[in-house]
Amino acid sequence: MPLETTRIPAGVTEGKETFVLNLGPQHPATHGVLRVKLTMDGEYITRAEPVCGYIHRMHEKMGENRTYAQFLPNTSRIDYLSAMHYTHAFVGVVERAAGIEVPPRAEYVRVITSELNRIASHLVWFGAFLLDLGGFTPLLYAFDDREKILDLLEGITGARLTYCYYRFGGLYNDVDEGFIAGTREFVTHMRPRLDLYRELVTGNVILRKRLEGIGPISAEMCRKYGATGPVIRGSGVAHDVRKVEPYSVYREFDFDVPVFPEGDCMARYLVRMEEMAQSLRIIEQALARLPAGPFVAAKVPRVIKLPPGDYYYAVEAARGRFAVRVVSDGKEIPYRVKLRTPSFANLTLFEEASRGMMLPDALALLGSLDLVIPDIDR
């Protein structure tokens, strides 16, 4: 598949007779409150300008007027589908700065719950994306599987979506036998389901016609815009923070980073579908080798004060690279908290990537970016 920018066909009066089409913020074809101001030339997009901020909450200012422990629950409300990864980055940056050693059992459980969260997040994307493309049924299948994950995570964290399970130095509580057995059962259940999705959806000719060759994004474009996650991996670049800069205990597991070089919507689709299988592999290994021992570090100061300086911690969230920068002046309250979110960076390329596309194809492109709006607006 050649990676050329889509061109407006000859005959279309480029830029001569345009109109503005407002997509969102409340629109059936968009999820959440994303608004895109589209300048259209007939059916073709000449300019797409995302209008953001409808759900802006200024998390970064909130970070400057509460303690580290008080800010922790905020991080699970940025990308609400990827809460484990986001809290992981925040506890990670505090542990890095304070020099807290996390016990191995806690890190293993973090990996297991993070990968479960990744599958749950990809299942929501899978259902919603196909809904965008006009297929209703897969959503019901996906949510059925996702429900099993939410039940498992609810059992140990008490929450179904905005988990605040990771704490500085470890976990809120230990996992029980029910969770371990249930997760094993889920892995066994999920593998044939992925095969089913392959048969039911991936090979579908309508889906392929909607996705193959549509919305090409080159590796170079990803680099220039800082796009990460399944977007850059669908453009042939094996950038995965779990492999490039392994954090937690990820280097102890055997897993592949799915990469598809085509750069089209189909490639991004295939990356996420393959990633779910890889997450199952990681969970299986982590369960088999789950160490005994404490689930939280013995010496965690009750009041956290970080040494002055700035600290950075990146993780691979479901949508790509999420990073936290904390600037400390030695007090109980952070001097500055910066949240680098993947949806924000992935959306920046939309204006360039969608130029010259037809509207329904641009909706496929938007869906293939897997945006979570509070993750953009913060």
Partner 1 sequence: MSLSLEQLHAAFGQSPGIAAAPCQIVDPKAKGYHLEATVAPDQVVAAAELLDQNGFAIDTITGVDWMAAGQMEIVYDFFHPTAPLQVVVRTRVPRDKLELPTISKVFPGANWHERETHDFFGIRFLGHPDLSPLLLPEDATYHPLRKDFAGAA
User: Rg of the Cα trace of the chain?
Assistant: 21
Q: Which residue has tokens 């641009």? A: 362
Minimal distance in Å, beta carbon 127 to partner 1?
Answer: 28
Residue 322 engages partner 1 in binding (rule: CB under 8 A): no
User: What is the sign of the dihedral through the CA atoms of 250, 255, 261 and 264?
Assistant: negative
Contact with partner 1 (CB under 8 A): which of 52, 69, 180, 300? Answer: 52
Residue 281 engages partner 1 in binding (rule: CB under 8 A): no
Contact with partner 1 (CB under 8 A): which of 132, 262, 284, 377? Answer: 377
Pairwise CA distance, residues 333 & 312, whole Å: 17
Residue 143 engages partner 1 in binding (rule: CB under 8 A): no
Angle, CA 46 vertex, CA 269 and CA 207 arms, to 5° = 25
Residue 161 engages partner 1 in binding (rule: CB under 8 A): no
Among 22-30, 75-83, 189-197, 221-229, which window interacts with partner 1 (CB under 8 A)? Answer: 221-229
CA distances to 32, 156, 361 from 159, in Å: 21, 8, 37
Residue 245 engages partner 1 in binding (rule: CB under 8 A): yes
Among 1-9, 34-42, 164-172, 308-316, which window interacts with partner 1 (CB under 8 A)? Answer: 308-316
Residue 224 engages partner 1 in binding (rule: CB under 8 A): yes
Number of residues that bind partner 1 (CB under 8 A): 47
Residue 20 engages partner 1 in binding (rule: CB under 8 A): no
**Under 8 Å between Cβ of 240 and 316:** yes
User: Considering beta carbons, is residue 166 or 311 the nearer one to partner 1?
Assistant: 311
Strands (E), 183-319: 309-317
Contact with partner 1 (CB under 8 A): which of 42, 348, 355, 360? Answer: 348
Residue 336 engages partner 1 in binding (rule: CB under 8 A): yes
Minimal distance in Å, beta carbon 89 to partner 1?
Answer: 10
Q: Is 292 exposed, middle or buried (0-12, 13-18, 19+ CB in 10 A)?
A: exposed
Contact with partner 1 (CB under 8 A): which of 36, 45, 131, 222? Answer: 222
Pairwise CA distance, residues 146 & 81, whole Å: 11
Q: x/- string (CB under 8 A) for partner 1, residues 96-115?
A: x-------------------
Helix/strand number for the chain, H first, E second: 15, 8
Strands 170-171, 166-167: pairing kind: antiparallel
CB-based contacts of 107, cutoff 8 Å, min separation 6? 248, 249
Give the binding site for partner 1 (CB under 8 A): 52-53, 56, 58, 60-62, 64-65, 93, 96, 219, 222-228, 232, 237-239, 244-245, 309-314, 321, 323, 325, 327, 335-336, 338, 340, 344-345, 347-349, 352, 377-378
